[in-house]
């Protein structure tokens, strides 16, 4: 299933809706302003928090944590020693690792588990430049997690570009 994201600016304090293919509100990305660290919440249409993204404090490398119900779910980091600058690793708490690679800033990348495609993020399906889709390929995939991973790595890549 594809989820449509209108690529506003991932600034803290900005809220925006992610829609499903039928144009219905699927997730609200709620940027939390006035926090010491970068914090975003992914909510369902009823306002229930599904996932929280937080910038890791005092990390040697830029990292964000993904939490569900205030419990750590995963850590996202730019892959060390990667020839591709836009390669991130998502390490789930139970040890599973997801690879995120491609042109993050161009919104053309994939999320894979052991070489199997879980989600494809792309602008190619749209003519509007500020729009991209998160296409969750597997029916049994954790959709909220994959949408959160896409939002997270884009936010991290944008911050990295600003710092350069």
Is residue 7 scored above 70 in pLDDT?
no
Mean pLDDT to the nearest integer, 86-92 = 92
What is the structure's pLDDT at 26? Answer: 96
Task: Please state, for a pLDDT cut of 90, what percent of the chain lies above it.
Answer: 54
Confidence of residue 62 (pLDDT cuts 50, 70, 90): confident
Is residue 65 scored above 90 in pLDDT?
yes
Q: What tokens appear for 33 in the block?
A: 């302003």
What is the structure's pLDDT at 58? Answer: 56
User: What pTM, to 2 d.p., does this model score?
Assistant: 0.87
Q: Which tens digits make up the pLDDT trace of 90-139?
A: 999 999 999 999 999 889 999 999 999 999 999 886 666 678 899 999 98
Q: What tokens appear for 34 in the block?
A: 């006035």
What is the structure's pLDDT at 5? Answer: 86
Mean pLDDT, the chain, integer? 85
Residue 109 gets which letter from DSSP?
A: E
Residue 79 gets which letter from DSSP?
A: P
- The C-alpha atoms of residue 50 and residue 89 are separated, in whole angstroms, by 21
Is residue 19 scored above 60 in pLDDT?
yes
């Amino acid at each position: 299933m594809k989820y449509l994201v209108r690529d506003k600016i991932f600034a803290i304090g900005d809220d925006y809706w992610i829609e499903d293919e039928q144009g219905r509100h699927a997730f609200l990305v709620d940027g939390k302003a006035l926090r010491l660290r970068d914090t975003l919440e992914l909510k369902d249409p009823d306002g229930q928090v599904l996932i929280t993204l937080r910038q890791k404090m005092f990390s040697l490398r830029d990292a964000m944590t993904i939490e569900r119900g205030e419990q750590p779910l995963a850590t996202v980091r730019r892959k060390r020693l990667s020839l591709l600058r836009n390669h991130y690793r998502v390490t789930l708490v139970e040890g599973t690792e997801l690879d995120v690679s491609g042109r993050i800033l161009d919104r053309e990348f994939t999320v894979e588990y052991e070489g199997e495609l879980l989600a494809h993020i792309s602008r190619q399906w749209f003519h509007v430049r500020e729009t991209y889709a998160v296409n969750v390929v597997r029916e049994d995939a954790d959709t909220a997690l994959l949408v959160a991973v896409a939002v997270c790595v884009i936010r991290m890549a944008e911050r990295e570009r600003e710092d350069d």
